[in-house]
């Protein structure tokens, strides 16, 4: 963790967003978000907030379940990797 990393408790985050902590823990169990643990409390780092908020919108606004979020996340990652590869190939003149 770098010195500028801030943390917010999962409970506080969930209260603010009016969601259940179980959803955040399910995302962690599926590997979609990373939480930090200190003693018995879990925290979200500022790097994870944007990712978590994206999953909240997809789940609560669009009704996408955890399994669907896993698929979407994997596909988006693959698409970004292919875009990076394409940019690299274009720079190389191939």
In a domain, residue 2? The reply is no
Please provide the DSSP assignment of 42-83 as one string: EEEEHHHHHHHHHHHIIIIIH---HHHHHHHHHHHHHHHHHH
With bands split at pLDDT 50, 70 and 90, how would you rate the model's confidence at 92?
Answer: confident
- Domain hosting residue 88, numbered range: 7-92
Give the span between the Cα atoms of 67 and 63, in whole angstroms.
Answer: 11
Domain tally, the chain: 1
User: In a 3-state reduction of DSSP, which class is residue 40?
Assistant: coil
In a domain, residue 11? The reply is yes
- Residue 5 near residue 45 (C-beta atoms within 8 A): yes
In a domain, residue 1? The reply is no
| CATH label of the domain that carries residue 21 | 1.10.1660.10
| Predicted confidence (pLDDT) per residue in 14-61, tens digit | 999 999 999 999 999 999 999 999 999 999 999 999 999 999 999 999
What is the per-residue pLDDT for 41? 93
In a domain, residue 19? The reply is yes
């Amino acid at each position: 963790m770098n010195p500028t990393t801030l943390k917010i408790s999962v409970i506080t985050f969930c209260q603010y967003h009016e969601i259940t902590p179980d959803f955040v823990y399910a995302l962690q169990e599926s590997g979609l978000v990373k939480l930090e643990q200190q003693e018995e409390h879990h925290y979200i780092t500022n790097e994870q907030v944007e990712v978590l908020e994206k999953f909240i919108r997809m789940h609560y606004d669009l009704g996408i379940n955890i399994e669907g979020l896993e698929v979407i996340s994997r596909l988006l990652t693959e698409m970004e990797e292919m875009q990076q590869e394409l940019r690299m190939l274009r720079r190389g003149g191939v």
